[in-house]
Chains A and B, each alone.
Chain A
Amino acid sequence: MAVELDVFVGNTTIMDEEVYQLWLDGYTVNDAVKVRMEGGVLEEFEASADVLLSDTMDQYRTFQMCERLLHSPAKLANQLLFQIPPHRQAILIERYYAFDDAFVREVLGKKLSKGTKKDLDDISAKTSVTLKSCRRQFDNFKRVFKVVEELKGPLVENIRQHFLLSDKLARDYAAIVFFANNRFETGKRKLQYLTFQDFAFCAGQLINSWTIGAVDNMVEDMDVDLDKEFLQELKELKILITDKDLLDQHKSLVCTALRGKTKAFNEMEANFKNLSRGLVNIAAKLTNTKDVRDFFIDLVEKFIEPCRSDRWTASDMRLYLTHYTNSAHILDTFKHQVVWDRYMGVIKSCIFKMYHD
């Protein structure tokens, strides 16, 4: 004796947000029922486990049928099959495209290819995000990547319009696409302490200032590829460390400004040349794709780690970088002010964001 068929279809599609989340999280029907029972819906509503099972199955089926539409969210608004009020559509989409920080952290900067997809079970084991959910998230990344790849115009805006996502989520996706495209290395142990949000912030900075889109906003891939000319120009900054006078002058300007304002002054003074070389070398090497990939690693190794071992506080860091940037303007023989600002603006905010435990 068994229920062989059991369906419930509403004219307005009924969706329970809690069940939707369980589905997104990759729970099987039975696990979802368990979770819901523990959650106490039953007592709240004097229902039996059967009722819960039947409800969960119905909703899972509905979500599966909707999934196709969620792949191109614009269709959700003008499809006829499900009558879903617009605010609910928005929730469905937003949740569908939401991702786990733990998962994205693993995939960030990797090529969104079949190969990576095969590694998803490892990632699933490591992050304890279910494999099903990993696949959904991975496919979402890939889908967004493919769509925006061929579009002109601002990356964030494109994502927002094509996938009807909120601004915040669109920015996160922009970061993911940007990282995947430039293949930034984020997986090294030294970078483990950084969260996805740290990277997303940095990506935002890079997109805004270092891509072609920062200067020309009607090119393909404008927000995805770094501005090659700019990278070339960065080589000019080398003069700051190769010209001894300039280096000394720069150091003394910075030291004068810092003296007495921080406890770490001695360390700053002692390390100035090293740190400066570190930053300028990073800039000079960015023409190499390989070095672009190591951008974050270099920042950490060449700058953040030394500072941290000298126990700079966050405000020390802020103070130092501000003066370091500004002092360069006072150097008479230093002609590359514009490039310097474009470079240091991003470096400064990235380092501020990345300088934590």
Chain B
Amino acid sequence: MPGKLKAKIVAGRHLPVMDRASDLTDAFVEVKFGNTTFKTDVCPKSLNPQWNSEWFKFEVDDEDLQDEPLQITVLDHDTYSANDAIGKVYIDIDPLLCSEAASVISGWFPIYDTIHGIRGEINVLVKVELFNDLNRFRQSSCGVKFFCTTSIPRCYRAAMVHGFVEELVVNEDPEYQWIDRIRTPRASNEARQRLISLMSGELQRKIGLKVLEMGGNAVVGYLQCFDLEGESGLVVRAIGTACTLDKLSSGSAPNTNTHVHPNTAPASNACNSPSKDGKEPVFGEDLPSFSGPPTPFRALPTSSSSPPPFSPSKPCSRQSSSSDTDLSLTPKTEEPLPVRCRPGIFLCPSSPTLSTDTLSLPGSGSVGCGHGSAPRATTPPPHSSVRSDSALLRKSVSFTEDLLLAASGMGSGGSAGKEAGPLKTLLRQQTQTALEQREFPFFTLTSFPPGFLVHVGGVVSARSVKLLDRIHNPDEPETRDAWWEEIRQEIKSHAKALGCHAVVGYSESTSICEEVCILSASGTAAILNPRYMREGCLDIGSTDHRFEEPSPPSCGFCHIPYDELNMPFPAQLTYCYHCRRQKVPDVLFTTIDMPPEAAVTGKGCLIQARLCRLKKKAQGEVNATAISNLLPFMEYELHTQLMNKLKLRSMNALFGLHIQISVGENMLLGLASATGVYLTALPAPGGIQIAGKTPGDLSNEHHILTIQKRINDTITKNKELYQINPPELTEEVVGSPIPEPRQRSRLFRSHSESSDELSELDLSHGKKDAFVLEIDDTDAVEDIHSLLTDAPPPTGFYSCNTEIMPGIYNWTTGVQMFTSVRVFRLSNANLTNQGLNKIFTDLCENLLKSFYFKLRSMIPCCLCHLNFTVAVPEEELIQVAVTAVAMTFDKDQTQEKPADKPVTKGCSETEEQLQFPLELCADSSSITTQTSSKISGVPESTNVSPRVSSLERSSPLPEGRSRSLRSNRSFGGSSVPVVKMTPLSFLPGTRIIKYLGIINMFFIRETTSLREEGGVSGFLHSFIAEVFAMVRAHVAALGGNAVVSYSMKECVLMENPNKNQAQCLINVSGDAVICVIETDQESMPSTINVVQTCSSGADGAT
């Protein structure tokens, strides 16, 4: 009986006119929680009613507190007929259940109706009194904190990172229940909203229980998704990373967040004193196959530790397509024992590759073998089976594993002894042990405390095509669980193949079309420092020392985690250009954010590969098979495109890689986005060379020359644009032991080109100079053209899909988050793949151009965290939804900082942290004083033309702010508190002082008067604006002034213009926070006080 929930209805405003006769409304409110309902009095004839109700008290279980939302319904009293509903507010009270989050919810909430949208506002107060319940068998998990942020939240330090947690719940979708035929659309929408709210509460509670079991107190990188499976049901699933977080005292907190290196601070704290109180990892299940000490798993790592452990490149491995189970990894194999070929694995080596799907590419197997300068054994490919049917799938999976085992076993034997210092080996073993105990050593984090990430292997991914069962069956969760379990196993084995024991930056997604569902998972294989995983395994200080020595932070993560001699795939390795001690791959792909301490040259940029593939319409298994057959090709091509575009920009690494494959009735869409960077530690990319199929044909030759010239020009231009001028020194200095030619040849190999691999192979031997594109047919020409059509962002703009732009360090406070959606109708039924590709590419490019244009007043600015989501809502429609944030920066400083910063950082983190905030303060000294006004005003600078303020005056904020405050007042009424939103985990120039809880909201909007609402654009425009408004209102009611890690997970739009109808579902999430403008440390405490008072004051006021 652990909780008493109290709610008070204060007032309403701007209510709609419900009585035409009087132009007024007789409003009253129903407050419902669980099965209990209270009502307020009717406030007659007013559009701005004052109810000032008593406190309505609900005595409830904490389990219910976690699952249920508080439901507030505003109605118009009608004496003679039924009362009309004006709208509802659902309030998630979860934030009140955690002592460290919000203590009261108080504020104006938009009254929302699924048919009419927002209709006025209501002022509500909610409190919870929680009694402690120490019952061990309790079903609730109150107090576990949830964060969408995929890094350690700013005001905490990670005492221990426990690992992966996942859960899913299934239910029938009310929209498909029989009753839906007889109820109104409003009732049906509300049933759905409520159900999803309940399900996500339940899901969160269950995950919380798992976390408690593991000994953690928080979930970081919490990612919750809905699968609307139509008739087969509704799945809500979530994954996250369980951690034990300690709150930093406010005094020490400040460093944390400079915007520059977001993570640094917390991280460092964490490092210095990781607390050891965490428990041993709770999870202990061993996988059977790996559990034995001599298990392969271990073995692999070991070998890697050894000197040349696996060396390959760190690259990216790519993904495998899952559907086929095979893994793909290319590389690794190799080595001493040529024998060892790895069977199923395909790693992709460094670069390129996509191996995964191998199946389909017959050539791939051969590729590996063919070239190796080293002996590579290669692997066969795989088997990829298509898998619509799960039985098949399973089979293939197991197959793979066996192979793996075999392979790894060998590997371990061979390499074990090599050079690695025993210590290192020991460390690794420990880590491994810790990790092995986990069923899935996965982490949803994308950025880490310094020292956490030791090496990065490359991207691993898996996809699987499933047929949704038509008949809903109550045991559903088990089926869905099993599906995901398979995929995760696959990911795990891919990682192992890359010599890595963990997967970071892990995420899962689905794409559903009718009864076919593609499940995808991807992440970055990595080797982690065991410190965070285990209690007391080593003295920290010394650990650091040891680790750091071999791999300085600015380049350590690039060093290959696998055994050089065992490289299974054709990657080319060189000595690290930064420390010159360890081997690095030629190209590195990852799904994580760039470690802040990494050394980069120049700036980064958004790189996208886009692809459309037509497929025949089909049903059931035939359809699933067709899709699985296509997947490998798509992955391969996306990969090739990425690789080419990367080279075209003269860069050598991708961060934040996200590949989405979306299925429609007659086509598949693939979109890969990542942020390209030139990592100083990696070798300079070779150029791109064009080769004709038929040498000798003169005109053709000429043509090729022209294209070649264009490519070379583009590369040169891009180098300038992104300021990539890797000191030629580097190359010379490096004097790498590995002769250049050799490198190149390897490079070359790994990427297979679009055409057939055999020819590639040949080329590799012949011209070692570069990445060769062969023009053998018109498709190839098109491909090359499309390469060149990506327009660079206009002057003053940068774009990336990671948290921040590598190479930009001095963010100012201008922030503009936006969501944009476009739907394109293909009218021509006879489109070819090429034509579709062009349309799709143009669609994406035009969207970007639109953003640049709209945000031009913010120049110089960077679009960060550009998150594209594609869908095929109907047969001839392509939908692209983008959420991103534009942030201004100070151009002048840009140049200087990058140079020293990364370097220094590595050396003395602590000092650095201290310095940094100080510098900032100096810039904006006056800010300090202003803090108080700021709070509510933080956002101010956000406006459309923030730049002016921030650039022109050294201390713009204050003025702007105070002015705005004043003017607010002059406007009379209670002005609305400003709430900033950002998809990033921080707001530049501010410090997060408190996390108030997770925001996870689901809305449905429907209309039967589409034309009157401005068509489908008008409908969606106002819906998105309404969603923003509701998110802001909830955050403000929690006492917050910003949402970080905001994302729009779902935006499903269905329209029927003929019937004048449309319906849209949107799911958004993020972390509500209080942040203050960054100041120096001395003033900290006072600042905080001020803030708190202010915010509470604000609460009262509103």
Which A residues have a C-beta under 8 Å from some C-beta of B?
Answer: 1-15, 45-48, 50-52, 54-55, 57-58, 61-62, 64-65, 74-83, 85-90, 161, 164
Contacts and interface: CB of A to CB of B under 8 A. Distances in A.
Given A5-B823, A86-B967, A86-B971, A79 B828 contact: no
B850 A55 contact: yes
Given A85-B964, A87-B967, A7 B13 contact: no
B973 A74 contact: yes
B820 interface: yes
B348 to A, nearest CB: 36
Contact of B118 (A2, A48, A81): A81
A57 to B, nearest CB: 7
Contact of B942 (A2, A9, A12, A161): A12
Given A4-B877, A5-B823, A12 B1021 contact: no
B816 interface: yes
Contacts of B1056: none
A233 to B, nearest CB: 40
A81 B1026 contact: yes
Nearest to B972: A74
Interface stretch (B186-194, B443-451, B480-488, B977-985): B977-985
A77 B822 contact: no
Given A75-B14, A77-B976, A7 B1024 contact: yes
Given A12-B942, A76-B971, A77-B971, 7 more contacts: A8-B820, A14-B854, A77-B972, A80-B110, A81-B110, A88-B944, A90-B967
Given A4-B877, A55-B850, A81-B1025, A11 B1018 contact: no
25 contacts: A1-B824, A5-B1053, A6-B821, A8-B851, A9-B1025, A10-B816, A11-B942, A14-B816, A47-B849, A47-B853, A57-B1017, A61-B1014, A61-B1017, A64-B1018, A65-B1022, A77-B972, A78-B973, A80-B118, A80-B1032, A83-B976, A86-B967, A86-B968, A88-B944, A90-B967, A164-B971
Contacts of B825: 1-4
Nearest to B107: A80
B820 A81 contact: no
A39 to B, nearest CB: 14
Contact of B1024 (A1, A9, A83): A9
A94 to B, nearest CB: 12
Contact of B979 (A54, A83, A85): A83
A6 B847 CA distance: 9
Contact of B981 (A11, A14, A51, A82): A11
Interface of B is mostly: mixed
Interface string B154-182: 00000000000000000000000000000
Q: Which of A54, A64, A89, A90 counts the most chain B CB atoms within 10 A? A: A54
Contact of A65 (B821, B1016, B1025): B1025
B824 A11 contact: no
Contact of B820 (A7, A77, A85, A88): A7
Contacts of A80: 108, 110, 118, 121, 976, 1029, 1032-1033
Interface string B714-734: 000000000000000000000
A45 B851 CA distance: 12
A9 B1025 CA distance: 7
B975 interface: yes
Contacts of B132: none
For the complex of A and B, the 10 pairs showing the least CB-CB separation, nearest first, are A77-B971, A5-B823, A86-B967, A8-B820, A10-B818, A11-B817, A9-B1024, A7-B1021, A80-B1029, A11-B981
A55 B849 CA distance: 11
Contacts of B1011: none
A83 B1027 CA distance: 12
Given A80-B1033, A87-B967, A6 B943 contact: no
A254 B1018 CA distance: 71
B455 to A, nearest CB: 38
A130 B1022 CA distance: 27
A64 B1017 CA distance: 13
A87 B964 contact: yes
A6 B1017 contact: yes
B731 to A, nearest CB: 35
B108 to A, nearest CB: 7
Interface string B1015-1043: 01110111011101100110000000000
B705 to A, nearest CB: 29
A9 B1028 contact: yes
B620 interface: no
Contacts of A86: 964, 967-968, 971, 975
Contacts of B964: 85-87
A89 B1032 contact: no
B830 interface: no
Interface in B250-280: none
A85 B853 contact: no
B826 A1 contact: yes
Interface of B: 13-14, 108, 110, 118, 121, 794, 816-828, 839, 846, 849-856, 877, 879, 939-940, 942-944, 963-964, 967-968, 970-976, 978-981, 1014, 1016-1018, 1020-1022, 1024-1026, 1028-1029, 1032-1033, 1053
Contact of B1017 (A7, A13, A45): A7
Contacts of B967: 86-87, 90
A43 to B, nearest CB: 12
Contacts of A1: 824-828, 839
Contacts of B1026: 81
Nearest to A1: B827
Q: Which of A61, A75, A90, A161 counts the most chain B CB atoms within 10 A? A: A61
Contacts of B850: 8, 51, 54-55
A62 B827 CA distance: 29
A67 to B, nearest CB: 12
Contacts of B816: 10-12, 14
A80 B975 CA distance: 10
Contacts of A79: 14, 976
Contacts of A13: 1025
Contacts of B942: 11-12, 85
Contacts of B1025: 9, 13, 65, 81-82
A332 B1091 CA distance: 73
Contacts of B110: 80-81
B818 A64 contact: no
Nearest to A9: B1024
Contacts of B1053: 5
Given A77-B971, A80-B118, A48 B821 contact: no
A1 B831 CA distance: 11
A56 B617 CA distance: 38
Contacts of A62: 1021
B943 A9 contact: no
A174 to B, nearest CB: 19
Contacts of A46: 794
A31 to B, nearest CB: 19
Contact of B944 (A15, A47, A54, A82): A15
Contacts of A54: 850
Nearest to A89: B971
B859 to A, nearest CB: 9
Contact of A3 (B118, B823, B851): B823
B820 A9 contact: yes
A14 B820 CA distance: 13
Contacts of A77: 968, 971-973, 975-976
Given A45-B853, A77-B976, A79-B976, A3 B824 contact: yes
A267 B1032 CA distance: 74
Nearest to A15: B944
A20 B819 CA distance: 21
A15 B13 CA distance: 26
A104 B879 CA distance: 47
Nearest to B965: A86
Nearest to A2: B825
Contacts of B1017: 5-7, 57, 61
